[in-house]
Amino acid sequence: MRDLLMIPGPVDVDADVLQALSAPVPGHLDPGFIATFGRALKRLREVSLAPGAQPFVVSGSGTLAMELAVANLIEPGDRALVVNTGYFSDRMAHILERHGAKVTHVRAEAVGGAPDVARVEAELRGGGFKLMTVTHVDTSTAVLAPVEPLVKAAREHGVLAVVDGVCATAGEAFHQDAWGADVYLTASQKAVGVPPGLALLTVSPRALAAWRARKAPVASVYADWAEWLPVMEAYESGKPAYFATPPTSLVCALDVSLGQILAEGMEARFERHRRMARAFRAAWSALGLRPVPTSEAVAANTLSAVYYPDGVDASLVGRVKAQGVAIAGGLHPEIKTRYFRVGHMNRVSAGDVLVTVGAIERALHAAGHRAAAAGTAVAAAQAALAG
């Protein structure tokens, strides 16, 4: 029997998504696939709540999605502001610098925090930035950035806003068009509910205009929107097109998963993720554990990052796996050996929450951590789910 997969991605996927993957591989010019790809593009726009945006679906990882944004919007010498909440904010800065940007960071005061919006606004008022990046949820810290006011502040100052939604899209509330984000980027393997392999973006008309106004061609052929835009436009209009062969089976799986997400309803889905997260937070509190996010206001709903209690180390991850549940160790370099992470996104149910909490509670007890009576954490999670 396989372990319950509760890491922060890849996530467990629905049986219908797996069935789409197991079907005979369609050709990329097959009429049925053209219709499927076109529908998936339309659905991606709906999931991002971005009716005015241009969707891109490209074979690659979330890191490629980051590069697809940066490579097309940054030219050497452009200034970029990085709202930094952890490991993946640092990765975005690295990509920006590789493409010639002059990067300014606004960092949280400590690991697990989010920069104050007023500090970011002060930097934006200084002028000169072409682009601001925000990691919606940093997978290394489980920090949820205050993305709505940040994006709106960038818009007010004429700065393009790029939001990394890899660990957030389809799990955390986000309204791309209403808030004014220029690029929302993600990957297939987290709350979108598909195996790894797809880089996904929804790009505003303002960002496309900035790209078209470039003075120099995009340095990367594969990342150039000029190569992909005609393909996306063609498939959405029901016509074949070619630049590089799309991962046809993954696109079919994406179409199924996006359809399921939209059938659930975006607001209902956001609320379900909040409910699961509240149950986990209740369990951590009952166990006397300290989350990495410094306050509930900056705690993500798609995953938890939790410090080990005194006397317990990273062997806890293996102890939980022995209970039949896979969780993850730390990632942020400053605290990597001091905490563990639990993913709770996509199709995670109340039953999954209770099984996971029970496994962690038993593993902690076996490791010598007895801050609460056996069953206390499961009861706390159950009460939160019922509330």
**pLDDT tens figures, 145-165:** 999 999 999 999 999 999 999
Is position 341 annotated in a ligand binding site?
yes
- Backbone dihedral region of 14: left (phi > 0), alpha (psi from -120 to 50 degrees) or beta? beta
101-132 pLDDT, tens digit per residue, is 999 999 999 999 999 999 999 999 998 999 99
C-alpha 305/C-alpha 341 separation (Å) is 4
Among the four given CATH numbers 2.160.10.10, 3.40.190.10, 3.40.50.300, 3.90.1150.10, the one describing domain 265-386: 3.90.1150.10
C-alpha 54/C-alpha 301 separation (Å) is 27
Yes or no: say if 56 and 231 are a contact pair by the CB < 8 Å rule: no
Quote the pLDDT of residue 54.
98
Burial 95-116 (b: 16+ CB within 10 A, else e): bbeebebebbebbbeebbbbbe
322-337 pLDDT, tens digit per residue, is 999 999 999 999 999 9
Number of H helices, E strands in the chain: 14, 14
Among the four given CATH numbers 3.90.550.10, 3.40.50.1400, 3.40.50.300, 3.40.640.10, the one describing domain 15-264: 3.40.640.10
- Backbone dihedral region of 301: left (phi > 0), alpha (psi from -120 to 50 degrees) or beta? alpha
Q: Where are the domains of the chain?
A: 15-264, 265-386
186-233 pLDDT, tens digit per residue, is 999 999 999 999 999 999 999 999 999 999 999 999 999 999 999 999
Tokens of 306: 């939790």
Task: Judge whether 15-264 and 265-386 match in fold.
Answer: no
Whether the pLDDT of residue 29 is over 80: the answer is: yes
